[in-house]
Amino acid sequence: MTAASAETQDLRGCLGRFATGVAVVTFDGFADGEVKRHGLTINSFTSVSLDPPLVLIAVQRTVRAHALLAGRPFAVNVLAAEQRDLAMHFAGRPNTEPTWIEGRHAPRLAETASWFECTPWTEHDGGDHTLFLGKVERFDLRPGPCLGFADGTFFTIPEPT
């Protein structure tokens, strides 16, 4: 292992100490000559603005979905505590068949803790990631605990009482 890659791994470990929620970005994109449903698990998701309503997702440039997402409407699905299998499925370890909901702007996943349907706002270079900003067109939530992630482990974020 080189010093640079060891340092990168150390940095990744330090960043992994920051607990996040878990979300899946879903969208319809062109692949193999036809429109197909796509999704990818992310933990880089944040609100940016309330006026206009904007959210940001960071997508690694090397994942296949990256090129398919550019300029496309998308949904951010914040996963509920019981949706760990969906997180793994869209992280490249298929283990469940997702239940899709047709959104007005982008496809969504069923039974998530919350969701945001977005139209493209802008994209920015983020080093080995692209920062996609989306304008929130529709959103909703349901009560219950959420799925969290820190130190390479999933955990439950209880609903505040």
The least confident of 8-12, 113-117, 119-123 is 8-12
The answer to whether position 152 is within a domain reads yes
Q: Is residue 8 part of a domain?
A: no
Reported as a single tens digit per residue, the pLDDT across 50-72 is 999 999 999 999 998 898 999 99
- Residue 71 falls within a domain, yes or no? yes
Domain range for 77 is 19-157
| Structural domain includes residue 68 | yes
Number of domains in the chain: 1
pLDDT reading at 4 higher than 70: no
Position 117 in a domain: yes
Asked if residue 13 is part of any domain, the answer here is: no
Which residues lie across from 134 on neighbouring strands? 55, 120
Alpha-carbon span 41 to 139, nearest angstrom? 19
CATH of residue 116: 2.30.110.10
Does this model's pTM top 0.85? My answer is yes
User: What gap in Å lies between CA 65 and CA 60, rounded to an integer?
Assistant: 9
Structure tokens at 107: 């496809």
Within a domain: 74: yes
Strands 45-50 and 53-60: antiparallel
Taking all residues of the chain, what is their mean pLDDT, rounded to a whole number?
Answer: 93
User: Where does the pLDDT of residue 1 fall: very low under 50, low under 70, confident under 90, or very high at 90 and above?
Assistant: low
pLDDT tens for each residue of 143-159: 999 999 999 899 999 99
**pLDDT for the residue 2:** 63
* pLDDT at 150 (0 to 100): 93
Higher pLDDT, 56 or 35: 56
Would you place residue 16 in the very low, low, confident or very high pLDDT band (cuts 50, 70, 90)?
confident
**Residue 76 forms part of a structural domain:** yes
| pLDDT exceeds 80 at position 15 | no
| HEC-encoded secondary structure of the chain | CCHHHHHHHHHHHHHCCCCEECEEEEEEEEECCEEEEEEEEECCEEEEEECCEEEEEEEECCCHHHHHHCCCCEEEEECECCCHHHHHHCCCCCCCCCCEECCCCCCEECCCCEEEEEEEEEEEEECCEEEEEEEEEEEEECCCCEEEEECCEEEEECCCC
